[in-house]
Amino acid sequence: MIRISANAYYEDTQTPSVELCLDELFYISELIDVLLGTKKKWYEKGYSRKQALDHIVFNHKKAEPRVIERWRSQVKKNHPLIIEGVWDGEVDSKICSINYIKKHVDNIKKTNLDVSITCNETDISIDKVVALLTSLVCDKGRIYASINTNGYWNNECNVFPDRICVGWMIYIPAIILPELIPEAAKIVPIFDSEKQKGTIVVSTEEIFDGNNKDHIGKANDIEIRLLDLGLLPLMTEL
């Protein structure tokens, strides 16, 4: 079993709304289905497992009007902040969840997507996860995103606790040539039409394990290199 954590940080170009929140959550739910080859139902959070099954948000299609209205009522309580999420109601060995977070009162467009995926190692590969990360950032402007596994970030294995971590892979909205980061296992340029908009830096060709000392060392080396290049921002800058 492997636990994948994906985090993305960006500023919305659209006005914050419940509809935008639900659209982002639905889009990511589809990415997870593509990654795992599944067709999941998604439920509201904040309930027991049994109660959650009565509160479907996505049933293989976008949220219905009654769900939108219920969420609009919930969001009003913390307006203009939005901290909402969905999960798939699975057992712990298969559980997945997605959170959409706006918590910066001074800049409400600042957004964090927090994705958690639990699966078997045989369900994924480096190419599938790179495709997931590519799809996660493709329709955003200036966005930073990283993917780590088995608690790399949560266990504070990254070098700089006040900066975004690398873990298995990181997307940077900048052009990075392979020779600038020789420690990387793979450098993947990401394009918008024919123009490169950013780069994915991958630390290991094999499935990254946040408890593996060799893997941790490789991610740490890349974090140091990115900082030297001025490409590893503080969390407060995201």
Mean pLDDT of 206-219: 93
Share of the chain above pLDDT 90, in %: 72
Does 79 score more than 80 pLDDT?
no
Mean pLDDT of 70-84: 85
Q: Can you spell out the DSSP letters for 57-92?
A: EEESSSPPHHHHHHHHHHHHTTTT-EEEEEE----T
Look up residue 58 and give its two tokens: 């996505």
Pairing of strands 82-87, 195-202: unpaired
Pairing of strands 2-11, 143-149: antiparallel
Mean pLDDT along residues 84-106 = 91
Separation of alpha carbons 38 and 36, rounded Å? 5
Residues 56 and 141: their CA atoms lie apart, in Å, by 31
- At residue 153, the pLDDT reads 77
105, pLDDT greater than 90: no
pLDDT of residue 73: 86
Mean pLDDT of 1-14: 92
Q: Mean per-residue pLDDT for 157-185? A: 95
pLDDT band at 88 (very low <50, low <70, confident <90, very high): very high
How far apart are the C-alpha atoms of 69 and 205, rounded to whole Å? 45
Report the pLDDT value the prediction gives residue 188, as an integer from 0 to 100. 97
Q: Give the single-character DSSP code of 107.
A: -
Determine the average pLDDT of the residues in 147-173: 90
Q: Which residues of 91-128 are buried (b: 16+ CB within 10 A; e: fewer)?
A: eeebbbbbbbbbeeeeebebbbbebbbbbeeebbebee
pLDDT for position 180? 95
State the average pLDDT for the chain. Answer: 92
For strands 110-119 and 96-102, give the pairing: antiparallel
Residues 6+ apart with CB under 8 A from 133: 6, 145, 147, 169, 171, 200
pLDDT at position 134, please? 97
Tokens 């190419």 correspond to 127
Residue 222 has pLDDT above 90, yes or no: yes
pLDDT tens-digit readout, 117-134: 999 999 999 999 999 999
Question: What DSSP string runs through 148-199?
Answer: EETTTTTTT-SS-TTB---BTEEEESS---GGG-TT-SEEEEEEETTEEEEE
Averaged pLDDT, 193-219: 94
The mean per-residue pLDDT over the stretch 163-178 comes to: 96
